[in-house]
Structure 1
């Protein structure tokens, strides 16, 4: 049995905390896609920790953590994270496993990412410059090196061959930055990576499921950044939706039970790309401050706006969402009135569907106003503690997206989640 947790917006929905909250109920937490551009924020003993590669169940001793084949892995980032979580008592050599089929991000992938983005000028897609796109390109181009290749005595030779190919591309970009230090870090991290549990991921997880183990598949980024169904070309390089679980872990679709989607009580986006409900005024700036909306991975300020039910309904549809977690509801405590986007006016025509080319469409959001609650909800423990105006807001969203909001996160703490 597999349950899935994934983001329903443009990422940054608070998936790390939610996975950490649910982790005690599962035997295995498995990352199925994405790379170190994901930043899943947890608070352990009051201290903030951001995980980029390690699954968010790492602080639960009884829980195994699998990095699946759909992930692209930065060995340097992973080594740093392993050292960081070890300070909090997490034993990655005991409870973390890496699929042999997981592709590696090389130093030259990072260089290619940077060179490509620099050449785009005003057309930048907002890449985090972690080498993720080029690593996925090598994967689909059948050139990439995988974690299992580290166990081959010819790994260094194969690395050099691929590096030379990348160098020719970098020369075409007139990229002349010295990446020697990156390579030194990489090979040091590779040695560390070889000391970890490298497994046949697809056999590992299917055998565990046959044994009756419960798996929680952890998504990275958000549904609206999916390579096929997101706001193309302002998307990531992998399938961030439920379909990515099957290809990213090597499991059959009938094994998936619940799909738990996460949405903020409002919307944010980092980098370029369309954002129909974005606020360019003082309210948007106040949302950013109240929600501390700065990227966990990049530190970039996030663009902020009202919740978008057109996009949210679309994300629930393509993912088969069965339950929803609403995060950062407490951020709206002092805002009134609240606005909710219920439809788009696209070139003068109202629609409740995402346009094919949302980047070129002239979209005006149709907004419905709700009163705010002007109450400190961070202290709420039960549904009855929530103000009636908040419950009305949530109920309206339930009806529009066709999936029930079952939990409300009302603060950063592990215990600040209200079941509904």
Structure 2
């Protein structure tokens, strides 16, 4: 069976979630390979509309394995809210899997995200302030905490203490923000860890075993090409690799197992946040307003009006 990478070819909001939901029924597994709850996919089922931020679109099909890959960053609270939302509507999450290597978004990441944006002033990136950038920053600085760390309280406390030794001085001395203790974070995160324990796994082993069994995989990107950290409109980009290559590193599946890349675009372009957009239209009147209102161009995650252009 073939495996496909689904990517947005513009700045996002091309309808990847809809396409993913449409074709997921033809795949045995859907993998989200990058990003966090800074992106949203809207799926409409009957009279119900679901805004997905962490859970892959394949969740709507109970026979499909839905995987949050190692290239993602996870806010446990948001993930549990989505799980509860689906379970309350009778949609099973039994086949949802979360990579133990995915990094955890901590409360201080969200604090720092907002503080960095404020510090940049007129040159701010326009992030969602969900803590995604600082979380990836800690990942690269090798002080990040991963989902599997939450499953061992001793390990979690030890790694968290080391992270706070670096983070707290930034919060206090640079930004004048409140600091955190190991105890205050454990009080919130450890109970969530117990709820998430059944979902956490070695995802790269799972995926490669599925491939060996002849199963097909759909790799789902969260953002889009022009927001890629390396290939997008830097520095007005996201903090991960959302182009097709990110599917390999963000899942642990080898390149030989990717058969095709499916790029999604729409007749006009939109973007949320700051940065260059040469064909941007004035949204207060004329075609710009028509695109914004007619296309319901408002961010699923932020509710912000999307910038529209040809």
TM-score, normalisation: structure 1: 0.70
Give the one of 298, 301, 306 matched to 1:302.
306
Question: Residue in 1 aligned with 2:148?
Answer: 148
SS in 2 for 1:10: coil
Count of matched residue pairs? 303
| Contact 2:75–2:105, Cα closer than 8 Å, also in 1 | yes
Question: Does 2:262 align with 1:260?
Answer: yes
CA distance in 2, matches of 1:114, 1:160: 23
Unaligned 5+ segments in structure 1 are 307-420
What is the Cα deviation at residue 234 of structure 1? 0.1
What is the Cα deviation at residue 179 of structure 1? 7.4
Q: Which has the higher contact order (CA 8 A, sep 6+)?
A: 2
Question: Residue in 1 aligned with 2:136?
Answer: 136
1:212-266 per-residue CA deviation (whole Å, 9 max, x = no partner) reads 0010000011110000000000000000001001100111112111211111211
Which shifted more, 226-235 or 260-269? 260-269
CA distance in 1, matches of 2:189, 2:303: 24
Give the one of 191, 195, 200 matched to 1:192.
195
Question: Residue in 2 aligned with 1:121?
Answer: 121
Closer/same/farther in 2, CA of residues 175 and 295 from structure 1, 3 Å limit: farther
SS in 1 for 2:171: helix
1:37-57 per-residue CA deviation (whole Å, 9 max, x = no partner) reads 010110122211100000001
What is the Cα deviation at residue 151 of structure 1? 2.1
1:348-372 per-residue CA deviation (whole Å, 9 max, x = no partner) reads xxxxxxxxxxxxxxxxxxxxxxxxx
What is the Cα deviation at residue 161 of structure 1? 2.9
Question: Residue in 1 aligned with 2:97?
Answer: 97
CA distance in 1, matches of 2:228, 2:244: 10
> Which structure is larger by alpha-carbon Rg, 1 or 2?
1
| Contact 2:270–2:306, Cα closer than 8 Å, also in 1 | yes
| Contact 1:76–1:185, Cα closer than 8 Å, also in 2 | no
CA distance in 1, matches of 2:190, 2:302: 24
CA distance in 1, matches of 2:151, 2:189: 16
CA distance in 2, matches of 1:62, 1:233: 40
Question: Residue in 2 aligned with 1:227?
Answer: 229
What is the Cα deviation at residue 172 of structure 1? 3.2
What is the Cα deviation at residue 106 of structure 1? 0.7
What is the Cα deviation at residue 152 of structure 1? 2.0
CA distance in 2, matches of 1:286, 1:172: 47
CA distance in 1, matches of 2:193, 2:117: 27
What is the Cα deviation at residue 87 of structure 1? 2.1
| Contact 1:107–1:186, Cα closer than 8 Å, also in 2 | no
TM-score, normalisation: structure 2: 0.93
CA distance in 2, matches of 1:10, 1:221: 7
CA distance in 1, matches of 2:272, 2:153: 41
1:49-106 per-residue CA deviation (whole Å, 9 max, x = no partner) reads 10000000101011010110000111011011111111222222x1101111111111
Unaligned 5+ segments in structure 2 are none
Greater per-residue strand proportion:
1
Question: Residue in 2 aligned with 1:41?
Answer: 42
Give the one of 287, 293, 299 matched to 2:291.
287
SS in 2 for 1:249: coil
RMSD: 1.6
